[in-house]
Amino acid sequence: MYRSHTCGQLRLKDAGDKVTLAGWVQTVRKFGAITFIDLRDRYGITQLLFGEELNQELDQNPLGREFVLRATGIVQERSNKNANLATGDIEINISSFKILNKSAVPPFTIQDETDGGDDLRMRYRYLDLRRNAVKKNIELRYAVSRAARNYLHQQEFIDIETPFLIKSTPEGARDFVVPSRMNPGQFYALPQSPQTFKQLLMVSGYDRYYQVVKCFRDEDLRADRQPEFTQIDCEMSFVGQEDILNMFEGMIKHIFKEVKGIDYAEPVERMSWDDAMWNYGTDKPDTRFGMKITNLKTPYTVFETKDSSKKALPLGEGLGGAFGVFKNAETVVAIAVPGAAEYSRKQTDELAEWVKRPQIAMGGLAFVKVNADGTFKSSFDKFFNADQLKALAAFCNAGPDNLILILGGAEEKTRKAISELRLEMAERLGLRKPGEFKLLWVLDFPLFEYSAEENRWDARHHPFTSPKPQHVDIMINNNPVIENAEKYLEHPYADIKANAYDMVLNGNEIGGGSIRIYQRELQEKMFAALGMSKEEAIHKFGFLLGAFEFGAPPHGGIAFGFDRLCAILGGSESIRDFIAFPKNNAGRDVMLDAPSAIDEKQLDELNLKLDVK
């Protein structure tokens, strides 16, 4: 027996017992003739006391940090207790020990607050994983996976593996490809998700499928994305949207309960995509706080400029007297920030700089302070009188002490900017509370989005998502070709809504799915809408179209971003913290030094010749 207990196990009640522990040396503290060692394993830390006799032995075989040690002794009460440690009431008075392995000096301290930078820790990730802070994340990941699996198992889902070496099929992102030695000149692709396989499993009759599965997407890595990531991937047959929403609301609530002890009793709020975009400027709003967006450029938004006593003008034009940018702006939007009217000139200047950063790229920021005493102060006082400011404040639902922030510009960019500004202000005001969790379903997405690059429709979710039943006819009866690029919004396809849904948690999309197309005709129509010829559709998706001819049941599903879900539940911004061996922002594994070149012989076997640009 290597050890009788773990380093996190012993308590005062064990005093007097003879025990053997094994683990890593965290610290060595020598006090004259005695030495204290903190021994660490996965379960915790226990203090070992080496008395006078053993000290000589220790002098001959000095212990360093991260040495692997096995030690036997008697549990005794500590005189100097440590309330921060589960084992802090006791120590082990060691009678014999053995160094099981030595360690080089670790490149950073293996402690919660380490001195190691990101790159160094990733290079020595196996040491980083010894740190308690990282270990807690890995354990949480397992707890989330276990809770999801238990729930799905109870609901009669079965876990079915699907292949990793598949055919390259467009699903939105770029595929990673793998050359086939046995089939010269041909390539497999790694799945962006098991989407088509899970649909085929429905055709096969496995009406409740799930998999905690790796997905691969060769995307430009935006912040906090990984080229390989994990999904909880699910599919069900004989269901409509309502069934899916209920089933997976249940799963998330179960995870909250099991992993965080949270009873999320209330039904998950539902919001249409239109409302999300209109009120929050994003399809994944953080609804832990209000601060909804007010659209100031509607025909019925009326204000007057000082020098005009005539009929009120739309605000864009009214403000246009002050700022040309607002007059010409496609969109003018505002948020009323509670409790921020005291912002100093310096602070508002700093906010104006914030919106000019390249990530936001707005030209400037206008503001109105609604002072507690009912007076106003704005960045355009010269042009607006108190009554006009009052009307503006009322229109923005801004109460006393609010700071109204206004942005104007091109529609998409401005909405995105005000949405970012809303989050930033909430962050500054402490409204995005780490321990608070708010779920949201976003529904009724548009089925298509316009690709300006190719002047055609793209699937907003993926090509297997079905239109709302009442919109199927629009799809069947209209030609998808966009004659006039400028007026693509007037094309009937722009109105088609999808049977698709996203689950949002604290402003992050944690899951998304849809009710699928299951008839060959509609699926073919979809491929055609995306600009695929009949031949191309058969070449790429013939297997699926074929399967739809053999009694495909109505079906739908969802996939959750497992890494992201773990990160949010663990209170972290970064999914990397929850992946044992993650890649860096450039998609590299700095520990393995991958990707890397392969040698000539391998290339030869694969019939590949490189022409690196």
20 lies in the binding site for ligand ASP (CB under 6 A): no
Cα 146 to Cα 138, 258, 276, 582, distances in angstroms: 12, 9, 32, 21
Cα separation of 194 and 462, whole Å?
Answer: 12
Smallest gap from residue 496 Cβ to ligand ASP (A): 17
| Amino acid type, 11 | R
| The residue to which tokens 């000096």 are assigned | 105
Cα separation of 362 and 415, whole Å?
Answer: 11
378 lies in the binding site for ligand ASP (CB under 6 A): no
Cα 487 to Cα 482, 484, 491, distances in angstroms: 8, 5, 7
Complex with ligand ASP: residue 462 or 491, whichever CB lies closer: 462
Complex with ligand ASP: residue 507 or 557, whichever CB lies closer: 557
Q: Which part of the chain contacts ligand ASP (CB under 6 A), choosing from 1-9, 17-25, 511-519, 600-608?
A: 511-519
282 lies in the binding site for ligand ASP (CB under 6 A): no
23 lies in the binding site for ligand ASP (CB under 6 A): no
Cα 550 to Cα 182, 327, 418, distances in angstroms: 32, 59, 49
- Residues 545-584, one symbol each (x = binds ligand ASP by CB under 6 A, - = not), give ------------xxx-------------------------
Complex with ligand ASP: residue 225 or 377, whichever CB lies closer: 225
Complex with ligand ASP: residue 89 or 233, whichever CB lies closer: 233
Cα separation of 218 and 511, whole Å?
Answer: 20
Complex with ligand ASP: residue 409 or 557, whichever CB lies closer: 557
Buried b (16+ CB within 10 A) or exposed e, 270-290: ebebeebbebbbbbbbbbbbe
Smallest gap from residue 485 Cβ to ligand ASP (A): 28
Complex with ligand ASP: residue 446 or 513, whichever CB lies closer: 513
CB atoms within 10 A of CB 376: 21
Using CB under 6 A, pick the residue from 26, 145, 195, 466 that binds ligand ASP: 195
Smallest gap from residue 84 Cβ to ligand ASP (A): 43
513 lies in the binding site for ligand ASP (CB under 6 A): yes
Q: CB of 333 within 8 A of CB of 406?
A: yes
Using CB under 6 A, pick the residue from 193, 199, 211, 305 that binds ligand ASP: 193
506 lies in the binding site for ligand ASP (CB under 6 A): no
Convert 474-498 into a string of H (helix), E (strand) and C (coil).
HHHHCCCCCCCHHHHHHCHHHHCEE
459 lies in the binding site for ligand ASP (CB under 6 A): no
Complex with ligand ASP: residue 97 or 541, whichever CB lies closer: 541
Complex with ligand ASP: residue 7 or 232, whichever CB lies closer: 232
Complex with ligand ASP: residue 426 or 459, whichever CB lies closer: 459
Smallest gap from residue 513 Cβ to ligand ASP (A): 4
47 lies in the binding site for ligand ASP (CB under 6 A): no
Smallest gap from residue 563 Cβ to ligand ASP (A): 13
Complex with ligand ASP: residue 316 or 561, whichever CB lies closer: 561
Cα separation of 346 and 352, whole Å?
Answer: 10
199 lies in the binding site for ligand ASP (CB under 6 A): no
Q: Vertex 54, ends 52 and 60: CA angle to 5°? A: 115
Biggest CA-to-CA distance, the chain: 99
Cα separation of 369 and 384, whole Å?
Answer: 13
Smallest gap from residue 517 Cβ to ligand ASP (A): 12
Cα separation of 57 and 73, whole Å?
Answer: 15
Residue 187 β-bridge partners: 179
Smallest gap from residue 559 Cβ to ligand ASP (A): 4
Using CB under 6 A, pick the residue from 388, 499, 514, 523 that binds ligand ASP: 514
Q: How many residues bind ligand ASP (CB under 6 A)?
A: 9
Smallest gap from residue 205 Cβ to ligand ASP (A): 19
| The residue to which tokens 């799915």 are assigned | 513
Q: Which part of the chain contacts ligand ASP (CB under 6 A), choosing from 112-120, 295-303, 393-401, 508-516?
A: 508-516
Per DSSP, the three-state class of 540 is: helix
Using CB under 6 A, pick the residue from 314, 318, 408, 512 that binds ligand ASP: 512
Complex with ligand ASP: residue 560 or 578, whichever CB lies closer: 560
Cα separation of 463 and 444, whole Å?
Answer: 16
Residues 6+ apart with CB under 8 A from 454: 531
Smallest gap from residue 248 Cβ to ligand ASP (A): 10
Question: End-to-end alpha-carbon separation of the chain, Å?
Answer: 58
- Residues 479-498, one symbol each (x = binds ligand ASP by CB under 6 A, - = not), give --------------------
Cα separation of 592 and 148, whole Å?
Answer: 31
Complex with ligand ASP: residue 35 or 523, whichever CB lies closer: 523
Report residue 414: phi and psi, to 5°: -70, -40
507 lies in the binding site for ligand ASP (CB under 6 A): no
CB atoms within 10 A of CB 533: 10
Q: 16, 3, 5: which is closest to 90 by C-alpha?
A: 16
Complex with ligand ASP: residue 348 or 514, whichever CB lies closer: 514
Q: Which part of the chain contacts ligand ASP (CB under 6 A), choosing from 92-100, 488-496, 509-517, 601-609?
A: 509-517
H or E segment to which residue 472 belongs: helix 472-477
| Amino acid type, 576 | R
Query: What residues make contact with ligand ASP under the rule CB under 6 A?
Result: 193, 195, 462, 512-514, 557-559
